[in-house]
Amino acid sequence: MDNTTRREFLKYGGALGVALGAAGLSSIARAQEALKIGVVYVSPVAEIGWTKQHSLGVDAIKAEFGDKVELTVIDNIFMPQDAERIFRELAASGNRLVFGTSFSHGTPMQKVAPRFPEVAFEHCSGIVHLANLGTFEAKYYEGTFVAGAAGGHMSKSGKLGFIGGFPIPDIVGPANALLLGAQSVNPDATCNAIFLNSWFDPGKEKEAANTLISQGCDVICSMTDTATGVQVAGEKGAWSIGYASDMAKFGSGKQLTAFVLDWTSNYLRAARGVAEGTWKPEARWEGLAAGVVKMAPYNEAIPADVQTKLKQLEADIGGGKLHPYAGELKDQGGNVKVAAGSVLSDNDIRGMNWFVNGMIGKLG
């Protein structure tokens, strides 16, 4: 696998085209039928976090296909204008399957895909589908609901704290589910929410975690791409909930659990589909049942009977017995949004722009 940074990419990219320069030459020597796959990461692969979880999917492809696959990985592409060029070059240089891993890759992929109808495009966290553009996404809210239940059991103050990047449905929804999970154990639980209004600012994230703890929150869930929230909570003796990767080693023993994202099945399914010629664009949106969302090992401090209950909860949500957004759900003003006996529709979940009763914070 060629793990190329954007800077190296630009260096190679000039006249030859990157795939030719960085990967293509070696392919001539190899078997002609090697399946060429291009992957674009939004950030470099760190020890934990969003991109790390995607790299595990890529590793799975490598493990299964071995020599029969030729991977080109370009990392640190966030801006749509950069991404469009990269996607076009990947598609033009013989890759038959191209992955985009960030919401910001959506518009460029939608532009590039129609021009390369023979190339399969897969977009993580995307919403738009085309004849050759499929999407996959995780049901984060299933993970936060279980994590919230763990928090509800362990919290002394009954106050949870949530840190998110921007107040968008993909983050507001999981925040709501976190509190609903906690309320399933402790009906009086509340959750203070802070939005950094930045995708990336570890300093601000630290202050946000400190702020929540100073206001009495004793379970911190940070849905950002660093372990800062887990780290600060650990230092201050508060419980924490990790996101994307298991962040236990950053948490001074205080991480209750983490809702881990495992994209492996999505990567393998797409690669197999393209290799066998059966690939079709799909809109996959999976959670605990498919193992796309997994709970990291529960903290030993959680009593055994509670752990059993949490595992049962995972099974119930995975099996469809329990829906995190089952009624009756009220918003912050006490208005009933979901009547008892019904559940929030998938469309409403993906467009959730309101806080449930008990959330403390204001959405624009």
Partner 1 sequence: MDLFVAIFTGTIIAATPLIFAALGELVVEKSGVLNLGIEGMMLMGAAFAFGAVVAGYSMPVAIIAGALAGAVTSLLFGVLALTFLTNQYAAGLALAIFGSGVSAFLGRGFGSAPIEALQRIHVPLLSDIPLIGPLFFHFDPMVYLALLMFVVISWFLYRTKSGLVLRTIGESPQTAHAIGYPVIKIRYMAVLFGGLMAGLAGAYLSVAYTPLWVENMTAGKGWIALALVVFATWRPLRVLLGAWLFGGMTILQLQGQALGLAVPSELLSALPYLATIIVLVIISQNRQMLALHFPASLAKPFRPAT
Considering the complex, state which of residue 210 and residue 307 has its C-beta at the smaller distance from partner 1.
210
How many positions of this chain bind partner 1 (CB under 8 A)?
44
Characterize 91-103 residue by residue with b for buried, 16 or more Cβ atoms within 10 angstroms of its Cβ, and e for exposed.
Answer: bebbbbbbbbbbb
Contact 359, 175 (CB under 8 A): yes
Q: How far is the CB of 232 from partner 1 (least distance, A)?
A: 9
Contact set for partner 1, span 262-301 (CB under 8 A): none
Q: How far is the CB of 245 from partner 1 (least distance, A)?
A: 10
Beta bridge partners of 72: 2, 38
Contact set for partner 1, span 294-333 (CB under 8 A): none
Burial of 167 (0-12, 13-18, 19+ CB in 10 A): middle
Long-range (24+ apart) CB contacts under 8 A made by 318-322 are 318/142, 318/287, 318/288, 318/289, 319/289, 320/289
197 binds partner 1 (CB under 8 A): yes
Other Cβ atoms within 10 Å of 171 Cβ, number: 20
Residue (of 18, 314, 15) closest to 139 by Cα position = 314
Considering the complex, state which of residue 320 and residue 333 has its C-beta at the smaller distance from partner 1.
333
Q: How far is the CB of 364 from partner 1 (least distance, A)?
A: 4
Angle at 120 between CA 38 and CA 277, to 5 degrees: 110
Kind of pairing, strands 336-338 and 329-330?
antiparallel
Considering the complex, state which of residue 124 and residue 193 has its C-beta at the smaller distance from partner 1.
193
Considering the complex, state which of residue 59 and residue 201 has its C-beta at the smaller distance from partner 1.
201
Q: Which of 55, 110, 183, 192 touches partner 1 (CB under 8 A)?
A: 192
169 binds partner 1 (CB under 8 A): no
- Cis peptide preceding 328, ω within 30 of 0: yes
Number of H helices, E strands in the chain: 13, 16
Compose the 75-114 pattern: x for residues touching partner 1 by CB under 8 A, - for all others. -x--------------------------------------
Considering the complex, state which of residue 56 and residue 289 has its C-beta at the smaller distance from partner 1.
56
SS3 193: strand
Considering the complex, state which of residue 227 and residue 292 has its C-beta at the smaller distance from partner 1.
227
Considering the complex, state which of residue 4 and residue 266 has its C-beta at the smaller distance from partner 1.
4
The Cα–Cα gap between 68 and 363 comes to 49
Considering the complex, state which of residue 200 and residue 339 has its C-beta at the smaller distance from partner 1.
200
What is the enclosing helix (H) or strand (E) of 132?
none
Q: Is 243 left (phi over 0), alpha (psi -120 to 50) or beta?
A: beta
- Choices 23-31, 89-97, 103-111, 227-235; region in contact with partner 1 by CB under 8 A: 227-235
167 binds partner 1 (CB under 8 A): yes
Q: How far is the CB of 139 from partner 1 (least distance, A)?
A: 25
176 binds partner 1 (CB under 8 A): no
Contact set for partner 1, span 207-226 (CB under 8 A): 207-208, 210-212, 214-215, 217, 226
Q: How far is the CB of 59 from partner 1 (least distance, A)?
A: 16
Residue 311 sits at φ, ψ, to 5 deg, of: -65, -35
46 binds partner 1 (CB under 8 A): yes
Considering the complex, state which of residue 83 and residue 98 has its C-beta at the smaller distance from partner 1.
83
Which residues sit at the interface with partner 1, rule CB under 8 A? 5, 7, 43-44, 46-49, 76, 161, 167, 192-198, 200-204, 206-208, 210-212, 214-215, 217, 226-228, 231, 235, 249-250, 360-364
